[in-house]
Amino acid sequence: MHEDEIPVTVLSGSLGAGKTTLLNHLLQNAGRRDLAVLVNDMGSVNVDADLVAEGSDLDAGGVTELSNGCICCELQDDLETAVVRLARERAFDHLLVESSGISEPEPVARLFTTASRVAASYEIDALVTVLDTRRFLDTFAGEDVPERRGETEANETRPLADLMIEQLEVANLVLLNKTDLCTETELEEAEALVGALQPGAETIRTAFSAVDPDRILGVDLFDAARMGELAGWQHALAEEDADDQHRDHDHDDGSDDTHDHDHRHPEERYGVDSVVFRARRPFHPERFAAFLEALPSSIVRSKGLAWIAGRDGKVDLSQAGPSIRATVRGPWIAALPEIRQELYRSNRPDLEWHDEHGDRQTELVFIGTGIDDEQLHARLEDSLVTDEEWNRADTLENPFPTDETDDVVLREP
The 10s digit of each residue's pLDDT in 69-118 is 665 565 545 777 778 888 887 788 998 988 754 456 787 888 888 877 77
The span from the CA of 343 to the CA of 175, in Å, is 46
Q: Given 226, 256, 286, which residue is the final one in a domain?
A: 226
Q: Is 53 among the domain residues? A: yes
Query: Where is the domain boundary, 206, 226, 246?
Result: 226
Amino acid at 115: A
Tell me the pLDDT of the chain averaged across its residues.
Answer: 81
Give 156's contacts (C-beta < 8 A, 6+ positions apart).
none
pLDDT tier at 131 (50, 70, 90 boundaries)? very high
Which range of residues forms the domain containing residue 282?
Answer: 232-411
Same domain as 210, residue 83: yes
- Domain contains 301: yes
Q: How confident is the model at residue 356 (pLDDT cuts 50, 70, 90)?
A: very high
Is residue 278 packed enough to be buried (19+ CB in 10 Å), middle (13-18) or exposed (0-12)?
middle
What distance in Å separates the CA atoms of residue 120 and residue 232, rounded to the nearest whole number? 31
**Residue 293 falls within a domain, yes or no?**
yes
pLDDT per residue as tens digits for the range 186-229: 999 999 999 999 988 999 999 999 999 999 999 999 987 776 66
Structural domain count, the chain: 2
Residue 370 has pLDDT above 60, yes or no: yes
pLDDT at 42: 53
Same domain as 104, residue 47: yes
* Run of H or E including 185: helix 184-197
Contact 80, 122 (CB under 8 A): no
| Residues 167, 107 within the same domain | yes
* Whether the predicted pLDDT of 249 surpasses 50: no
Indicate if 210 and 260 belong to the same structural domain: no
Residue where a domain terminates, one of 226, 247, 272:
226
Residue 340 has pLDDT above 90, yes or no: yes
DSSP assignment letter at 384:
B
Q: Output the domain CATH number for residue 351.
A: 3.30.1220.10
21 and 70 both lie in a single domain: yes
Which range among 235-239, 272-276, 281-285, 381-385 shows the weakest confidence by mean pLDDT? Answer: 235-239
Task: Specify whether 265 is located in the same domain as 327.
Answer: yes
Q: What is the pLDDT of residue 44?
A: 59
Q: Closest Cα to residue 17, out of 214, 199, 197, 171? A: 171
Q: Which contacts of 43-52 are long-range, i.e. CB under 8 A and separated by 24 or more positions?
A: 44/20, 45/20, 45/72, 46/20, 47/72, 48/24, 51/27
* pLDDT for the residue numbered 253: 42
Q: Is residue 19 part of a domain?
A: yes
The answer to whether residues 67 and 139 belong to one domain is yes
Same domain, 78 and 212: yes
Do 162 and 245 lie in one domain? The reply is no
Q: What pTM was computed for the model?
A: 0.78
Does the pLDDT value for residue 336 go beyond 80?
yes
Angle between helix axes 160-168 and 184-197 (nearest 10 degrees) is: 70
Q: Which amino acid is at 213?
A: P
Q: How far lies 402's CA from each of 220, 234, 248, 311, 337, in Å?
A: 42, 25, 33, 6, 18
Are 272 and 337 within one domain? yes
Residues with Cβ < 8 Å from 179, sequence gap 6 or more? 133, 187, 205, 206, 207
For the chain, give the number of residues.
413
| Mean pLDDT (whole number) for 117-121 | 80
263 pLDDT tier (thresholds 50, 70, 90): very low
Query: Is the model more confident about 49 or about 12?
Result: 12
Asked if residue 237 is part of any domain, the answer here is yes
**Are residues 189 and 59 part of one domain?**
yes
Residue 119 lies in a domain: yes
Residue 1 domain flag = no
**CATH number of the domain encompassing residue 127:** 3.40.50.300
Looking at per-residue pLDDT, the higher value among 28 and 58 belongs to: 28
Is residue 256 in a domain?
A: yes
Confidence at residue 371, expressed as pLDDT on a 0 to 100 scale? 87
The angle at the Cα of 275, spanning 274 to 276, to the nearest 5 degrees, equals 125
The answer to whether the CB of 125 falls within 8 A of the CB of 7 is yes
Do 136 and 48 fall within a single domain?
yes
